[in-house]
């Protein structure tokens, strides 16, 4: 399984990539929507974990652009800016099962990845 992590927080995304790799996932990470779009030009990813709020291109907009290149790609969204109200609004848009609030717990993230990819 190939995972693409996209988050503008370098320390967060690099650490998360390392933690997922230790657990046997094939992970690549980038820090912007533009970099993500370049990555998918040359590689296929089964799933992308996208930060909802990033400069220039946020997660929801990036999802639409990535789907144009790879319609089978699956997505999970994360954010560090979540109030209960934000969660309710966003989870209605993208589905609660595809949305996690930072800090991410690795065990829960892996469970979500497996669920989204129907690997359970």
* 82 or 17, higher pLDDT: 17
- Domain extent at residue 103: 2-116
Per-residue pLDDT band at 61 (split at 50, 70, 90): very high
Per-residue pLDDT band at 4 (split at 50, 70, 90): very high
Distance CA 4, CA 36 (A): 8
Long-range contacts of 107-114 (CB under 8 A, 24+ apart): 109/16, 109/20, 109/49, 109/76, 110/20, 110/23, 110/25, 112/76, 113/1, 113/3, 113/25, 113/47, 113/49, 113/76
Number of domains in the chain: 1
This prediction has a pTM of 0.88
pLDDT at 120: 60
**pLDDT more than 90, % of the chain:** 68
Distance CA 92, CA 15 (A): 29
Distances (CA, A) of 62 to 23, 69, 78, 80, 86: 26, 11, 13, 17, 19
Where residue 67 sits, what CATH number does that domain have?
A: 3.40.50.2300
- Supply the mean pLDDT for the chain: 88
pLDDT at 70: 94
pLDDT at 100: 83
What integer is the mean pLDDT of 85-93?
64
């Amino acid at each position: 399984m190939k995972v693409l992590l996209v988050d503008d927080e370098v320390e967060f995304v690099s650490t998360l990539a390392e933690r997922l790799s230790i657990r046997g996932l094939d992970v690549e990470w980038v820090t912007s929507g533009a970099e993500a779009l370049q990555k998918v030009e040359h590689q296929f990813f089964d799933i992308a974990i996208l930060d909802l709020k990033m400069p220039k291109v946020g997660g929801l907009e990036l999802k639409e652009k990535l789907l144009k290149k790879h319609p089978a790609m699956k997505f999970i969204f994360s954010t560090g800016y979540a109030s209960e109200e934000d969660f309710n609004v966003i989870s209605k848009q993208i589905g609660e099962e595809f949305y996690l609030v930072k800090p991410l717990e690795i065990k829960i993230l892996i469970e979500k990845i497996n669920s989204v990819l129907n690997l359970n």
